[in-house]
Amino acid sequence: MRASSEDIKQWLEAARAGCREALGKTLEASRLYLLWLARRELDPGLRAKAGESDLVQETFMEVCRDFDRFTGKSEKELLAWLRRMLRNNLMNFARTYRATAKRDIASEVSLETMRATDSAEIAVATGDPAPSQQAIEREEAVLLLEALARLPADCQEIIALWNQEHSFEEIARLTGRPASTVRAKWLQAIGQLQQLV
């Protein structure tokens, strides 16, 4: 069952008072959203170096370390803070492997790859995802699209606008709905996606 905004607000207050269990519950409630976001934004060429769950876990470790810096009180503020931290981790991760010559992923070639004649091995040598990884990514994308297609049209619209980084207030203005309705529809949509994917 999806945690309510009121649950998260209470957990945030308890976490501020030093309750590590409440902080853990708060983070767990946002895990699926962050995994989805990381999956969407992680450079496919870097997936061999780390997965989405690794980056989300790194973000959670930073949250545990830096939670005293978080000043928000609502789920929306928490998600915005987590999203910013995750995106910083994604950028730092990409910079580590793309910008540093010694660790440049494009220059990494194994002996097996150098001897490769099989097209799958050549694909690995050129940085293309392996056929099995491509199949998994296609399957995940199809599942997500199917799940999104099952949502009511108004929920699909709200999810699309949210992913373009519009606030609930902006979405309310764009769709002509009250912000409370937009937020409720967003929570409903995320809950349905968690069950469907």
**Domain contains 121:** no
99 and 181 housed in the same domain = no
* pLDDT score recorded for residue 117: 47
Residue 108 clears pLDDT 80, i.e. is over it:
no
Model-level pTM? 0.50
Confidence of residue 7 (pLDDT cuts 50, 70, 90): confident
Query: In terms of residue numbers, what domain contains 75?
Result: 1-106
φ, ψ (nearest 5 deg) of residue 71? -110, -5
Tell me whether residue 181 is in a domain: yes
Q: Residue 113 domain-assigned?
A: no
CATH of the domain at 172: 1.10.10.10
Q: What are the pLDDT digits (tens) for 13-27?
A: 999 898 999 989 988
In a domain, 89, yes or no: yes
176: left (phi over 0), alpha (psi -120 to 50) or beta: left
With the CA atoms of 95, 98, 101 and 102 taken in that order, what torsion angle do they form, in degrees rounded to the nearest 10?
80
CA distance 34 to 28: 10
- Nearest one of 191, 170, 190, 172 to 181, comparing CA atoms: 172
**What is the number of structural domains in the chain?**
2
